[in-house]
Amino acid sequence: MEPQPPMSVVTVGSYQVGAGHPLLWICGPCVIESHTLTLRIAETLRGFADRFALPLVFKASFDKANRSSGKSFRGPGLYEGLKTLEAVKKATGFPVTTDIHECAQAAPAAEVCDILQVPAFLARQTDLLEACGRTGRVVNVKKGQFMSPWDMKNVVAKLSEFGSRNVLLTERGTTFGYGLLVNDMRSVPWMQETGAPVIFDATHSVQRPGALGDRTGGDRDMVPVLTRAAVAAGCDGVFLETHPNPDEAKSDGPNMLPLDALPELFTRCLRIRGALSNAVSQSPGSKFQAEDKKAS
């Protein structure tokens, strides 16, 4: 069996992500619907982050380039969207992230964003990975719904070849049949074997692609269930999209959580994370390691 690389610790703003560090939260609306609404969501999240002492990165898309219908709302576009994300960063102090779809978007997005996100459908696009990696920003690559967890070692290797070692990987489910995604929680430790911290995407994991004909459906009731399972499986962070009124959202409403549902989820996940940390610190192995260290 090949030895596995040690997990890297990735720095995002003032946060550190990886083994032994607090659970990172990447939260925000699916798409920038308006400048004002996006700032309002960010300010609410700022209050939650302060209340629960959360390392939180704000996420919103400037363009939803893979909508089911060509008539669906896509967002304000690159430059107007980046202005909004820059305003969020200034108002809240949050690091920010967004997804990019084209190589030419990487450099301008990197001027504002702390993390560049590569969508699941584009996880194997070498040119896009190179464009993101060469910016020097943290790159978060979502595992393609068509890929196995161990395929992601090739993604990490590509980014390393381009000089990028600040890499996060995100699990977001695997296509099952035509209209359903399923999560294998073994994906979390399997992808961690690449050495990259692993984020769990709770909201896109409950998508039902094309279920509403010209729109994607989803089952937001399953978001807390899967989030708790992923935290128990040892993920390094959670990605989830949220909106004050998901039923009126312009994109991905069926799988977004209402903003006011987040505090309960934060509370439960932090308890699970705490229980895991306590179990590790109280394990016989940890005790023996501490005694060995003291003796030396």
| 212-221 tens-digit pLDDT | 545 556 789 9
Q: What is the pLDDT of residues 165-219, one digit of tens each?
A: 999 999 999 998 877 899 999 999 999 999 999 999 999 999 876 545 455 567 8
Per the structure, how many domains does the chain have? 1
Distance CA 99, CA 168 (A): 13
pLDDT category at 296 given cuts 50, 70, 90 is very low
Residue 204 belongs to a domain:
yes
Using CA atoms, how far residue 262 sits from 31, 185, 236, 265, in Å, is 18, 22, 18, 5
- The Cα–Cα gap between 149 and 154 comes to 10
In a domain, 4, yes or no: no
Residue 5 domain flag: no
Residue 3 lies in a domain: no
User: 245: buried, middle or exposed (CB in 10 Å: 19+, 13-18, 0-12)?
Assistant: exposed
Q: Are strands 10-12 and 15-17 parallel, antiparallel or unpaired?
A: antiparallel
In a domain, 1, yes or no: no
**CA distance linking residue 255 with residue 118, whole number of Å:** 20
d(CA 263, CA 208): 26
Q: How far apart are CA 131 and CA 236, in angstroms?
A: 25
Question: Is the residue at 205 inside a domain?
Answer: yes
Q: Is residue 43 part of a domain?
A: yes
Cβ atoms 230, 202 nearer than 8 A: yes
Q: What CATH number corresponds to the domain at position 265?
A: 3.20.20.70
Cα separation, 262 vs 244, whole angstroms: 11
CA distances from 11 to 57, 113, 243 (A): 12, 13, 27
Provide the residue range defining the domain that includes 264.
10-295
**Poorest-pLDDT segment among 91-105, 132-146, 173-187:** 173-187
How big is the chain by its Cα radius of gyration, in Å?
A: 19
Task: Decide: residue 274, CB within 10 A, 0-12 exposed, 13-18 middle, 19+ buried.
Answer: exposed
Q: Looking at residue 7, what is its pLDDT?
A: 74
